[in-house]
Amino acid sequence: ASYKHPSLTDTPHRNKPCKMAALLQKIAPMSVRGVRTMSSTTERKVAVLGAAGGIGQSLSMLMKMSPNVSKLALYDVMGTPGVAADVSHMNTKAITTGHMGDEELEAALTGADVVVIPAGVPRKPGMTRDDLFKINAGIVATLMTGVAKHCPNAMVAMISNPVNSTVPIAAEVMKKHGVYDPRKLCGVTTLDVVRAKTFYAEKKGIPVVGTDVPVVGGHAGITILPLFSQATPFVELTDEERVGLTKRTQDGGTEVVAAKAGKGSATLSMAYAGAMFADACLRGLNGQKDVIECSYVESSVVPGVEFFATKVQANA
What whole-number distance in Å separates Cα of residue 202 and Cα of residue 206?
7
Residue 13 is a catalytic residue: no
3 state SS of 125 = coil
3 state SS of 156 = strand
C-alpha separations of 305 from 148, 164, 174, 266, 299 in Å: 25, 11, 20, 28, 8
Write down the catalytic residue from 5, 99, 177, 219: 219
Contact 274, 188 (CB under 8 A): yes
What whole-number distance in Å separates Cα of residue 245 and Cα of residue 290?
28
| H-helix segments, the chain | 6-9, 19-26, 54-65, 80-88, 105-109, 129-150, 163-176, 190-204, 239-250, 252-259, 268-285
Q: Which residues is 46 bridged to in the sheet?
A: 72, 114
**Which contacts of 203-210 are long-range, i.e. CB under 8 A and separated by 24 or more positions?**
203/237, 203/241, 203/244, 203/245, 204/235, 204/237, 206/233, 206/235, 209/33
H or E stretch including 44? Answer: none
What whole-number distance in Å separates Cα of residue 46 and Cα of residue 42?
13
Angle, CA of 284, 285 and 286, to the nearest 5°: 90
Burial class (CB in 10 A: 0-12, 13-18, 19+), 6: exposed
Catalytic residues: 219
